[in-house]
């Protein structure tokens, strides 16, 4: 590793003045850094404590937050296998939000995250707006005194049963309702709305979320994609379509981040395609206040820690 560092020295641009591992605020909370892991890409945030590295004390070194695997009102077993297809410039997944359900998460997972001192943002998904409020109320009731639970990221790219199965994130009014009921239950935690890129005007959705009480916007979620098995002539994934992530979506994430910042001025946490400190710098150059490392974190549990280290001036 040292040899690679010598051959490829970090060269930060002169405009970069932020300290990525210094405390900063989103809404009512102070986060310990600007480099986070993305939801679903570091499990619930408990799986890295026994991993060794010659470069880092742990995969949590320098992290400002771990966004948990998404939690839903009831446990979910997920979609049929296969669920993940690796591609030349990323991955296509159809996990189906497999998770233990929020009751077990509150009883077992969140207390353990707090005990281990993991800076945590809880990702939530639901099929009706009121379910977001109910889960946030339960979170607040259970973890009101927790020091390391910083907030909630509501996943607004899941199907809305009440409106015919369309994504929550496609309708500004529904986005606003989901955010409003969550905000009411979270008086002292940061509230982020994670938006889909699969829309024409993401800034309109961001504005609706902010007006309803969101402190920041996480953008983007995965892009709809499909891969074909040429031997069978059929889609690789049983459900045909999946969420495409990885380096191939970096330009899309940058464009959506720029659109929201330019049109609304809202705080944005940039997500999509980040593997290196250079990728993260592009988001920060466009006005993002923090970034999340996703697919790269699944490939290398020290990816986010490496980005944080490389962005830190000596």
Please identify which residue in the block is written with the tokens 């707090």.
Answer: 114
Name the H helices within the chain: 2-7, 102-104, 110-115, 129-143, 172-185, 202-212, 250-264, 277-285, 295-299, 303-310
d(CA 273, CA 51): 24
pLDDT at 314: 52
pLDDT at 286: 98
Quick check: is 178 catalytic?
Answer: no
Closest CA to 310 of 276, 264, 273: 276
pLDDT at 49: 86
pLDDT digits (tens, 9 = 90+) for 115-125: 999 999 999 99
Region 192-211: what's the mean pLDDT? 95
pLDDT at 50: 85
Topology of domain 2-310 in CATH is TIM Barrel (3.20.20)
Closest CA to 67 of 296, 292, 297, 304: 292
In 10 A of CB 77, how many CB atoms?
9
Region 269-276: what's the mean pLDDT? 98
pLDDT at 2: 37
Axis-axis angle for helices 202-212, 172-185 (nearest 10): 30
pLDDT at 52: 81
Catalytic position from the list 41, 85, 158, 178: 158
d(CA 274, CA 178): 28
Q: Per mean pLDDT, which range of 6-15, 94-103, 300-309 is the poorest? A: 6-15
d(CA 106, CA 256): 33
d(CA 114, CA 7): 39
pLDDT at 63: 98
pLDDT digits (tens, 9 = 90+) for 125-144: 998 999 999 999 999 999 99
Asked whether 157 and 196 are in contact (CB, 8 A), the reply is: yes
Closest CA to 36 of 69, 65, 61: 65
pLDDT digits (tens, 9 = 90+) for 243-272: 999 999 999 999 999 999 999 999 999 999
pLDDT at 299: 94
The three-class DSSP label of residue 308 is helix
pLDDT digits (tens, 9 = 90+) for 277-286: 999 999 999 9
Note the pTM of the prediction, 2 decimals: 0.94
pLDDT digits (tens, 9 = 90+) for 166-186: 566 789 999 999 999 999 999
36-74 as b/e, with b when 16 or more CB fall inside 10 Å?
bbbbbbbebbbebeeeebeebeebbbbbbbbbbbbbbbe
The confidence band for 7, taking pLDDT boundaries of 50, 70 and 90, is very low
In this predicted structure, the answer to whether residue 163 has a pLDDT above a threshold of 70 is no
């Amino acid at each position: 590793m040292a040899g690679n560092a010598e051959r490829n020295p970090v060269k930060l641009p002169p405009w970069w003045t932020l300290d990525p591992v210094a405390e900063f605020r989103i809404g009512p909370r102070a986060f310990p850094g600007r480099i986070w892991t993305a939801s679903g890409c570091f499990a619930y945030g408990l799986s890295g404590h026994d991993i060794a590295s010659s470069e880092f004390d742990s995969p949590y070194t320098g992290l400002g937050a771990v966004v948990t695997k998404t939690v839903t009102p009831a446990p979910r077993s997920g979609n049929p296998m296969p669920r993940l297809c690796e591609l030349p410039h990323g991955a296509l997944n159809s996990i189906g939000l497999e998770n233990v359900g929020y009751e077990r998460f509150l009883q077992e997972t969140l207390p353990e995250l707090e005990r281990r001192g993991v800076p945590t943002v809880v990702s939530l998904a639901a099929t009706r707006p009121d379910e977001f409020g109910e889960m946030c109320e339960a979170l607040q009731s259970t973890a009101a005194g927790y020091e390391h639970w910083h907030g909630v990221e509501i996943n607004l790219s899941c199907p809305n049963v009440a409106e015919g199965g369309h994504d929550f994130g496609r309708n500004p009014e529904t986005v606003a309702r989901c955010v409003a009921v969550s905000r009411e239950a979270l008086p002292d935690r940061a509230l982020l709305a994670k938006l889909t890129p699969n829309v024409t005007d993401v800034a309109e959705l961001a504005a609706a979320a902010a007006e309803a009480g969101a402190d920041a916007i996480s953008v983007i979620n995965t892009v709809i994609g499909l891969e074909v098995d040429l031997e069978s002539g059929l889609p690789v994934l049983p459900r045909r379509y999946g969420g495409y992530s990885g380096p191939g979506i970096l330009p899309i994430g940058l464009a959506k981040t720029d659109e929201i910042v330019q049109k609304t001025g809202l705080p944005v946490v940039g997500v999509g395609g980040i593997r290196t400190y250079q990728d993260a710098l592009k988001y920060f150059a466009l006005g993002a206040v923090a970034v999340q490392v996703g697919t790269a974190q699944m490939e290398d549990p020290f990816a986010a820690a490496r980005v944080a280290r490389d962005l830190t001036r000596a």
